[in-house]
Structure 1
Amino acid sequence: MRAAYQYRLRLTKSQETEVERWLDMLRHQYNYLLADRFNWYEQNRCSINSCPLVCHLPNLKDNPDYFSQKKTLPQLKKDRPWYGVVQSQVLQDCVKRVDLAFKRFLKGDSNGKKSGRPGFKGKKRYKSFTFPSLGKNPISGNILTLPKFGKVKMIYHRPIPEGFKIKTATITRKADGYYVTLSIQDDTVPEIISADSVKNPIGIDMGLKSFLIKSDGSEVPIPQYYRKAQKRLRKIQKVVSRSKKGSNNRKSAINKLGKAHKKVADTRKDFHFKTAKELLDNYDLVAHEKLNIKGLAKTKMAKSILDAGWGQFLSILSNKAVRVAWPTAINAGLQTVAVNPRNTSQNCSNCGVKVPKKLKDRIHSCPSCGYTEDRDVNAAINILNLAVGHSVSSSAARS
Structure 2
Amino acid sequence: MRSAYQYRLRLTKSQVTKIEKWLDMLRHQYNYLLADRFNWYEQNRCSVNSCLLVCHLPELRNNPDYFSQKRTLPQLKKDRPWYKEIHAHVLQDCVKRVDLAIAQFLKGDNNGKKSGRPRFKSKNRYKSFTFPSLSKTPINGNILTLPKFGQVKMIYHRPIPDGFKIKTATITRKADGYYVTLSIQDDSVPDVIPVDKVTNPIGIDMGVKSFLVKSDRTEVPIPQYYRKAQKQLKKIQKAVSRSKKGSNNRKKAVIKLGKAHKKVADTRKDFHFKAAKELLDNHDLVAHEKLNIKGLAKTKMAKSVLDAGWGQFLSILSVKAVRVAWPTALNAGLITKAVNPRNTSQNCSNCGKKVPKKLKDRIHCCPHCGYVTDRDVNAAINILNLAVGHPVSNKAYRVTELLGGFGKKPALSR
Corresponding residue number in structure 2 for 1:383: 383
Displacement, 1:58? Answer: 4.4
SS of residue matched to 1:287: strand
In the alignment, the residues of structure 1 paired with residue 333 and residue 202 of structure 2 have an alpha-carbon distance, to the nearest angstrom, of: 16
Distance 1:52 1:248, change over 3 A: closer
Mapping of 1:50-199 within 5 angstroms? 50-51=49-50, 57-199=57-199
Mapping of 1:229-244 within 5 angstroms? 229-244=229-244
Displacement, 1:316? Answer: 0.2
Corresponding residue number in structure 1 for 2:320: 320
In the alignment, the residues of structure 2 paired with residue 21 and residue 187 of structure 1 have an alpha-carbon distance, to the nearest angstrom, of: 36
Displacement, 1:329? Answer: 2.4
Provide the aligned C-alpha RMSD in A. 1.3
Q: Which residue, out of 381, 387, 396, partners 2:402? A: 396
> TM-score if structure 2 supplies the norm length?
0.94
In the alignment, the residues of structure 2 paired with residue 212 and residue 205 of structure 1 have an alpha-carbon distance, to the nearest angstrom, of: 5
SS of residue matched to 1:119: coil
The letter for the 2-side match of 1:204 is I
Displacement, 1:368? Answer: 0.7
The letter for the 2-side match of 1:23 is L
Corresponding residue number in structure 2 for 1:276: 276
Indicate if the aligned counterparts of 1:217 and 1:398 stay in contact, CA closer than 8 A: no
Displacement, 1:59? Answer: 4.2
SS of residue matched to 2:403: helix
In the alignment, the residues of structure 2 paired with residue 358 and residue 76 of structure 1 have an alpha-carbon distance, to the nearest angstrom, of: 64
Displacement, 1:167? Answer: 0.2
Displacement, 1:47? Answer: 2.2
In the alignment, the residues of structure 2 paired with residue 113 and residue 60 of structure 1 have an alpha-carbon distance, to the nearest angstrom, of: 32
The one-character-per-residue Cα deviations of 1:222-251 (angstroms, maximum 9, x if unpaired) are: 000000000000000000010111111111
In the alignment, the residues of structure 2 paired with residue 28 and residue 397 of structure 1 have an alpha-carbon distance, to the nearest angstrom, of: 61
Displacement, 1:61? Answer: 2.9
Indicate if the aligned counterparts of 2:142 and 2:156 stay in contact, CA closer than 8 A: yes
In the alignment, the residues of structure 1 paired with residue 403 and residue 64 of structure 2 have an alpha-carbon distance, to the nearest angstrom, of: 59
The one-character-per-residue Cα deviations of 1:293-339 (angstroms, maximum 9, x if unpaired) are: 00110101001000000000000000000000022125210000000
Indicate if the aligned counterparts of 1:215 and 1:398 stay in contact, CA closer than 8 A: no
In the alignment, the residues of structure 2 paired with residue 59 and residue 77 of structure 1 have an alpha-carbon distance, to the nearest angstrom, of: 24
Indicate if the aligned counterparts of 2:134 and 2:147 stay in contact, CA closer than 8 A: yes
Say how many residue pairs are matched.
Answer: 398
Displacement, 1:51? Answer: 3.5
The one-character-per-residue Cα deviations of 1:111-147 (angstroms, maximum 9, x if unpaired) are: 1111001100112321000000000100000000000
The one-character-per-residue Cα deviations of 1:193-252 (angstroms, maximum 9, x if unpaired) are: 000110000000000000000000000000000000000000000000101111111111
Corresponding residue number in structure 2 for 1:212: 212
In the alignment, the residues of structure 2 paired with residue 151 and residue 271 of structure 1 have an alpha-carbon distance, to the nearest angstrom, of: 33
Corresponding residue number in structure 1 for 2:410: none
In the alignment, the residues of structure 2 paired with residue 343 and residue 91 of structure 1 have an alpha-carbon distance, to the nearest angstrom, of: 51
In the alignment, the residues of structure 1 paired with residue 33 and residue 24 of structure 2 have an alpha-carbon distance, to the nearest angstrom, of: 14
The letter for the 1-side match of 2:321 is A
The letter for the 2-side match of 1:396 is L
The letter for the 2-side match of 1:187 is D
Say if 2:351 is the partner of 1:351: yes
Mapping of 1:4-23 within 5 angstroms? 4-23=4-23
Corresponding residue number in structure 2 for 1:252: 252
